[in-house]
Structure 1
Amino acid sequence: MKRISHWIFDFLVDHGLSDSWAGTINMLALLLLVFIVLFVVDFFLRKIIVGVFNRLSSSSKTHFDDLLVHNKVPRNIAHIIPLALAYKAIPAIFRDFPNAELFFVKAIEVCGIILFLWIVRSVLHTVKDFLKTLASLRDKPIDSYIQVFMIFAWAIGLFYAFSIVSGIELWKFLTALGTASAVIILIFKDTILGFVASIQVSINDMVRIGDWITFEKYGADGDVIEINLATVKVQNFDKTITTIPTYALISDSFKNWRGMDDSGGRRIKRALIIKQESIKFLTKENIEALKKIELIRNYLETRGKAINTFNSENGIDKSLLINGKNLTNVGVFRKYIDTYINRHSGINKEMTIMVRHLKPSPQGLPIEIYAFSSDKRWANYEYIMADIFDHLLAAIPYFELEGFELPSSTNFKK
């Protein structure tokens, strides 16, 4: 390079140009020549290195090298040699322009830092994509850790670049920067909060990718599809996407349905509201009529004998139904529901099954069914629950009970 630079300069001076003009033209010519050479070298190196990686990835059994090519790691590595050649060529190009030489030396060093960070970023993205292919790590917030590492890497790289440009030693630059730490903390507040939240979410296993969460404050109700340093993305069941700040997962309350997914069933918790004026004691005639219902026939016979024995042994006056022990239509209906639920094929018999009264309200007496469907898939769960309540709503009149509903316009017409 030195011989070429001297030859161009001497050639121009021999043909009558002044030293200053000859030096300027010599510098521009060398700059153009070096640029062309570097472009050609970079082009062929990229072709060679990427081609080698492609052949290696196609012949190997691991998926990691395919991801290296996909994330352009070989392409970025190919830029190292042209950048090193440019750094070596600068003294020869700007031998008569020391200020320009200093500027371009610093520019190349800064470009080297950026290239290094770019290679690190590509490698980390490759590692992230590879870890997500592992079943044990697929639901972990890997994006958050990658982002945290890259933030620190970019911060150190930028500090080092500022140190090169300003001519101040890195440690002195960092010491001076410490005085502005309060401003830095204020600027990166969300990043710091997100970093802390990501660690707590991961350590406490609060949320995983794929979890179904409900976050009423942000209108989120769906599956977690991404967890990174600043945000958590939730794909709602209507296919919209809600973005939640990561630190909100530890500062606010939300519901994670993973426990339901991991359990043996999905909870059914719904009530029938019975009009209280339709509740009554059962007469012998009523009981005999209800014995035709197969699910409660044995119960009515067994319970009826026990009640009759108690009333006769204690000399209860049964001229009034309220005296002594009695069966009620709502109590028998509750027993019918319990038997029906326990025999239903869609209910998990190993989990809680309960039919209970809730607090009476102005609308009536709620009879709540608390059980778990054996099939947790949403559509099947809804089908099982609908099948149960279809039957029970139709069964209410057989017990001379009435369900509550607000009057409609046809009621007023009647």
Structure 2
Amino acid sequence: MQDIQEKLETAEQWLVERPDMDTLTKLTLLLVAAWIANFVVKKILLRGLLRILTYTPAGKDRQAIERNIVARIANVVPAVVIAFGITSVPNLAEELTIVVTNVCYAFVVITIARAISGTLTIVNTLYERQPEAYERPIKGYIQVAKIVIYAVATILMVAVLIDKSPVILLSGLGAMAAVLMLVFQDTLLSLVASVQITSNDIIRVGDWVEMPNLNADGEVTDIALHQVKVQNWDKTITFIPTRRFISDPFKNWRGMQESGGRRIKRSLVLDQQSLHFITDDEMKAVKRFRLLKDYLKEKQQEIDEWNQQLKDEGREPVNTRRITNIGTFRAYVKNYLESHPKVHREMTLMVRQLNPTSDGLPLEIYCFTNTTVWAEYEGIQSDIFDHLLSILPEFGLRVFQHPSGIDMREMTRNLHESGTKASS
């Protein structure tokens, strides 16, 4: 023991005689101590704590594990060790000691703020899983709380770095904030909008956005602080103030592009005078359609069962149910779309009648293509309606169309010819 003590005294005397080596040695020891503290906390204590948390509901939640709140707080330990230990390192300039200490404290502040922010995110995520979350969302309140937390953290960090009281800093910021808000009003509004756009993932570069009130309909090519650049499909450029994406309504087509299908929603307007019950000759004609075999068989069986219940009243055709040409055509269109190779089978598909109007009976086709490419989508949609318009006469149906000049001329000529024949 005496030999060890003598060696320590000799080493200490040697370091005293060489102040630079003394400073370097103790600074190295301080960094090693911080590394050991970080290792012990993260590799031993933190692992043990996480293992204990796995037996609790909070530890089993994937969101809490991914956020890793505990690991963020653990980063405070080495910073605290350095902040307290730097003062024991000899021969360091006082200014350097103060700077290192203040930086460590500022790091502690921002680390705690990030941990609290992550905790609030987890709280919002867990709340959104509750049934009442759709009626009473708290995301807005969470965002306000985060803004307050980061604002307080920023003030504390600045106060720590300049080694001043936060109260003094706030008193000076009061008058400065009024001037800044007046001079940099647009910049501040754009900054807030940019933060909201980024945090809420409202728009991205490459998104197709549509804002009719600003005549914007195209692809986002650049997102800057003050404006968003949109290249319209006619190759013109529209510059939209960033804040307008927060205050004005617009449509983002990203959801459609990511879904893998694009909607077709278009109607065939049928002449209502062409609607009727299918005759026997027409029934023989429609039975030729491969897509209608199962429908006609099931429909005829359903109608026969219904009509048998009428007994004597079923002898009159007006009391019975019969197959119509509009119903048969509607079934044909539905089966045609279901068998179409370029129609998405996992998305909504239906054929429905809308309210009759003075222009006819709208028969709406509602389905999705299996591509989102604009040109391909338009080609698929056109092919479908080319076929449906062309096959309408097979069902005894007509498309409604307002009379044109040619129609009126043909009508006048027919009337004139009829009058001439009658007079002769």
Task: Give the TM-score band, short-chain normalised.
Answer: 0.5 to 0.7
Write the distance in 1 (CA, Å) between the matches of 2:308 and 2:399. 35
Write the distance in 2 (CA, Å) between the matches of 1:227 and 1:268. 31
What 5-or-longer segments of structure 2 have no aligned partner?
1-167, 411-424
Q: Report 1:31-46 matches (<5 A).
A: none
For the 8 Å contact 1:287–1:300, the answer to whether it is kept is no
For the 8 Å contact 1:281–1:322, the answer to whether it is kept is no
1:222 is aligned, of 218, 221, 227, to: 218
Aligned partner of 1:185 in structure 2 is 181
- 3-state secondary structure, aligned to 1:352: coil
Q: Report 1:95-114 matches (<5 A).
A: none
Deviation per CA, 1:312-367: give whole Å up to 9, x if none. 23226456544222211111110000000000011011111111111222211111
For the 8 Å contact 1:358–1:367, the answer to whether it is kept is yes
Q: Report 1:195-214 matches (<5 A).
A: 195-214=191-210
Aligned partner of 1:401 in structure 2 is 397
For the 8 Å contact 2:354–2:361, the answer to whether it is kept is yes
Count residues in correspondence.
243
- 3-state secondary structure, aligned to 2:311: coil
Counterpart amino acid of residue 313 in structure 1: Q
For the 8 Å contact 1:198–1:246, the answer to whether it is kept is yes
Deviation per CA, 1:25-76: give whole Å up to 9, x if none. xxxxxxxxxxxxxxxxxxxxxxxxxxxxxxxxxxxxxxxxxxxxxxxxxxxx
Displacement of 1:301 in angstroms is: 2.5
- 3-state secondary structure, aligned to 2:383: helix
Aligned partner of 2:356 in structure 1 is 360
TM-score w.r.t. the length of structure 2 is 0.54
Write the distance in 2 (CA, Å) between the matches of 1:311 and 1:178. 85
Write the distance in 2 (CA, Å) between the matches of 1:239 and 1:309. 62
What 5-or-longer segments of structure 1 have no aligned partner?
1-171
Aligned: 1:277 with 2:296: no
Structure with the largest fraction of helix: 2
- 3-state secondary structure, aligned to 1:239: coil
TM-score w.r.t. the length of structure 1 is 0.56
What value does the CA root-mean-square deviation take over the aligned residues?
Answer: 2.2
Displacement of 1:394 in angstroms is: 0.5
For the 8 Å contact 1:316–1:324, the answer to whether it is kept is no
1:385 is aligned, of 381, 387, 407, to: 381
CA shift in 2, pair 1:321/1:276, >3 Å: farther
CA shift in 2, pair 1:243/1:325, >3 Å: same
- 3-state secondary structure, aligned to 1:383: helix
- 3-state secondary structure, aligned to 1:244: strand
For the 8 Å contact 2:308–2:314, the answer to whether it is kept is no
- 3-state secondary structure, aligned to 1:371: strand
Aligned: 1:257 with 2:269: no
- 3-state secondary structure, aligned to 1:203: helix
For the 8 Å contact 1:213–1:220, the answer to whether it is kept is yes
Aligned partner of 2:371 in structure 1 is 375
Aligned partner of 1:238 in structure 2 is 234
* Higher deviation after alignment, 399-408 or 242-251: 399-408
Displacement of 1:278 in angstroms is: 1.3
Write the distance in 2 (CA, Å) between the matches of 1:316 and 1:399. 31
For the 8 Å contact 1:329–1:401, the answer to whether it is kept is yes
Write the distance in 1 (CA, Å) between the matches of 2:267 and 2:336. 15
- 3-state secondary structure, aligned to 1:195: helix
1:299 is aligned, of 281, 295, 302, to: 295
Write the distance in 1 (CA, Å) between the matches of 2:390 and 2:313. 36
CA shift in 2, pair 1:310/1:218, >3 Å: same
Deviation per CA, 1:292-324: give whole Å up to 9, x if none. 222112311231132123212322645654422
